[in-house]
Amino acid sequence: MELFIAITIGILVAGGVYRLLGGTKVDAIIGLIMLSQAANLIILAAGGLKHNAAALLDGSPISEYADPLPQALVLTAIVIGFGILAFLITLLIRSSK
Amino acid sequence: MTPELLIVASLLLPAIGAVLSLACRGNPWPVMLAAVVALALAVVLTIKTSGGEVYAVHAGGWAAPYGVVLVVDGFSALMLAVCQLILVAAVVFSMTTLPAHYKRRHLFPLLSTLSLGASGAFLTGDLFNLYVWFEVLLLSSFAIMAIVPGKEARAATWRYVVINLVASLLFLVAAGLVYGKTGTLNFADLHVSFQENRSSFLINSSAALLFGAFGIKAALVPLAFWLPKSYPQLPPALSALFAALLTKIGLYALFRVFGMVMVVDGSFPHQEVLFWLAILTMVAGVLGAVAQNDMRRILSFHIISQVGYMALALALFSPLAMAAGIFYLVHHIVVKGNLFLVTGLVEQHAGSSDLEKVSGVVRSSPWIAALFAIPALSLAGVPPLSGFFAKFALLKSGLEMQDWVAASAIVAVGLLTIFSMLKIWRAVFWGEPSGERKAPAQINLLTSAVLGVVTISIGIACGQFFALAQTAAEGLMNPAAYIEAVLGTSHSVQP
């Protein structure tokens, strides 16, 4: 699982940087989206991946929890990234007028 | 009011100001009022923390490494106070010098959210919240830049947005990795855990990412080229605020994270790299300034050069150098903000800030000339003014550490700074006045004069201000009080 996530992150970063340097504004936006997805995956993977584990379970031993904090961080990052994406697209539309 | 209440209030005030201003169709007065009150609160906080006290608010009553903390120490209180001061001045200038277009596009609520992001960044006690506050700050600044009309301004906005988003992503990844490796994001807890397992593996990779992120935001040289392309597009009232707030928050984050959180055994990761980049930044910035022909551009390049001085203070990392760096930050925010505001006065007065189009301002308006001379001489480091003491303290710490490269760079770059200020003085202020001249608004002259008086009084009462900076530096280099305020007494660090 870790290997799969790591390869995905690698592909996303490589593709993101490639598009970011592509030159047009749409390229830059797509590149930034890919990079921010990669960042989200990195945070999730850095917190430790667990198969089929809930974030909080009553009464079960601590080793069975999935760490809830990276999930909260990623959620925050996704929301912020979404807001920024909306702003970027607005900026793109306004500047092409 | 208890200090805890003051912390919460200084965070809530800009938010309330923004909402009220938005409710009143972008009216500037709520923003102004909130900024003035927040300034007063920040001054009170500065006085309360002047003995090295640290106060923390544990949001929701959650114990420290798990909950969100807001912390104020000497450093953050000082930064809060100067930033609110510049915000007040910038709001005054925005009200009087900017066309109605800006107000229609809701400039003033955005100024208030910008200040909210800045206050949050100064007060937060953990790495991820620092990221969130940076985003608040950045989105407000993006929106403000997008208001500026014109094709060049739009291109500049785009550049500014993309480079800053890349920096934010680096920051986000670094925060995630730090959490993965240490299991905490709280500054105090991170410091403790770095002390306990002194493995460089834990710090170095995340530190490199953070270095890139803060380096872009603070405009250290290989990462600074977005700044002179975007700042001159802003009208001076706004570039004063951007110059004073945005790059300085990058520096604040460098000081806080590298100068406090990541310090192990009296040094922090990538200190050597920071040293050489700081020297490069100082030299490249001032050479860029010498080559320019517009007041806005010259001043933008000076931001870079001065950022180099402050980064150098951090890289030297002796108690005197750190105090000098913090003193420099405070002095620089006031002086740089004021220089941009005076540029605004010149533009209002003579219609342009191009060195080749404007001349003879001394004859047509000696007041503007005097108001320019104070911050310009202070920036260059002429004795009774604040810049002299900042540079002197930094030079002294460089000499004490027998670091001849740093010492000679400080002196040489200082001379070139004087040279480029003389260039502005000779072209814009001397000579025969040409063209029509309009008298600038009285209130703007007064605002700029108040900032000038602050510069002079920092110079005259240098002892008191330097003592504040020393306390702040002491709090960064020996964060026992910080850790105790955040984590409680049980966590004491072995030296």
Cβ contact A95–B179 (<8 Å) = no
pLDDT > 70? residue B327: yes
pLDDT > 90? residue B35: yes
Q: How distant is the Cα of A42 from the closest Cα of chain B, in angstroms?
A: 7
The predicted structure's pLDDT at residue B198 = 67
pLDDT > 80? residue B122: yes
pLDDT > 60? residue B492: no
The residue-averaged pLDDT of B39-60 equals 90
pLDDT > 70? residue B134: yes
The predicted structure's pLDDT at residue B495 = 38
The predicted structure's pLDDT at residue B494 = 41
The residue-averaged pLDDT of B236-263 equals 90
**What are A37-56's pLDDT values in tens digits?**
999 999 988 877 777 776 66
Q: At what angle do helices B151-182 and B200-218 cross, to 10 degrees?
A: 170
Average the pLDDT over each of A44-48, B47-51, B223-227 and give the range with the smallest value.
Answer: A44-48
The predicted structure's pLDDT at residue B110 = 94
pLDDT > 90? residue B433: no
pLDDT > 80? residue B127: yes
CB contacts of B142 in chain A (<8 Å) are 87, 91
The residue-averaged pLDDT of B472-485 equals 89
Phi, psi at B264, each rounded to 5°: -130, 125
Nearest residue of B to residue A72, measured between CA atoms:
B128
CB-nearest to B173 from A42, A69, A83 is A42
Which residues of A, range 50-69, sit inside 8 Å of B by Cβ? 69
Tell me, yes or no, if A72 comes closer than 8 A to chain B by beta carbon: no
The predicted structure's pLDDT at residue A85 = 92
The predicted structure's pLDDT at residue B435 = 73
The predicted structure's pLDDT at residue B353 = 80
DSSP letter (8 states) at residue A89: H
The predicted structure's pLDDT at residue B493 = 45
**What are B181-204's pLDDT values in tens digits?**
888 889 999 888 888 876 766 678
d(CA B198, CA B221): 30
DSSP letter (8 states) at residue A1: -
User: What burial letters (b/e) apply to B329-351, b meaning 16+ CB within 10 Å?
Assistant: bbbbbbbbbbbbbbbbbbbbbbe
DSSP code per residue over A20-88: HTTSSHHHHHHHHHHHHHHHHHHHHHHT---SS--S--TTS-GGGPPPHHHHHHHHHHHHHHHHHHHHH
The predicted structure's pLDDT at residue B17 = 94
**What are B65-89's pLDDT values in tens digits?**
888 899 999 999 999 999 999 999 9
**What are B137-155's pLDDT values in tens digits?**
999 999 999 898 888 888 8
Cβ contact B180–A95 (<8 Å) = no
Cβ contact B176–A47 (<8 Å) = yes
Average pLDDT, chain B: 88
- Reduced 3-state DSSP string for chain B: CCHHHHHHHHHHHHHHHHHHHHHCCCCHHHHHHHHHHHHHHHHHHHHHCCCCCCEEEEHHHCCCCCCCEEEECHHHHHHHHHHHHHHHHHHHHHHHHCCHHHHHCCHHHHHHHHHHHHHHHHHECEHHHHHHHHHHHHHHHHHHHHHCCCHHHHHHHHHHHHHHHHHHHHHHHHHHHHHHHHCCCEHHHHHHHHHHCCCHHHHHHHHHHHHHHHHHHHCCHHHCCCHHHHHHHCCHHHHHHHHHHHHHHHHHHHHHHHHHHCCECCECCCHHHHHHHHHHHHHHHHHHHHCCCEHHHHHHHHHHHHHHHHHHHHHHCCHHHHHHHHHHHHHHHHHHHHHHHHHHHHHHHHCCCECCCCCCHHHHCHHHHHHHHHHHHHHHCCCCCHHHHHHHHHHHHHHHCCCHHHHHHHHHHHHHHHHHHHHHHHHHHCCCCCCCCCCCCHHHHHHHHHHHHHHHHHHHCHHHHHHHHHHHHHHHHCCHHHHHHHHCCCCCCCC
The predicted structure's pLDDT at residue B29 = 92
Nearest residue of B to residue A28, measured between CA atoms:
B162
pLDDT > 70? residue B472: yes
Average the pLDDT over each of A46-60, B182-196, B266-280, B416-430 and give the range with the smallest value.
Answer: A46-60
Q: Pick the more confident residue, B439 or B160.
A: B160
**Which ranges of chain A have pLDDT less than 70?**
54-60, 62-63, 97
Per-residue confidence at B265, pLDDT binned at 50, 70, 90?
A: confident
The residue-averaged pLDDT of B126-133 equals 93
Q: How distant is the Cα of B166 from the closest Cα of chain A, in angstroms?
A: 7
Amino acid identity, position B368: I
Tell me, yes or no, if B176 comes closer than 8 A to chain A by beta carbon: yes
Tell me, yes or no, if A35 comes closer than 8 A to chain B by beta carbon: yes
**What are B353-376's pLDDT values in tens digits?**
888 888 888 888 888 889 998 999
Per-residue confidence at B61, pLDDT binned at 50, 70, 90?
A: confident
pLDDT > 90? residue B132: yes
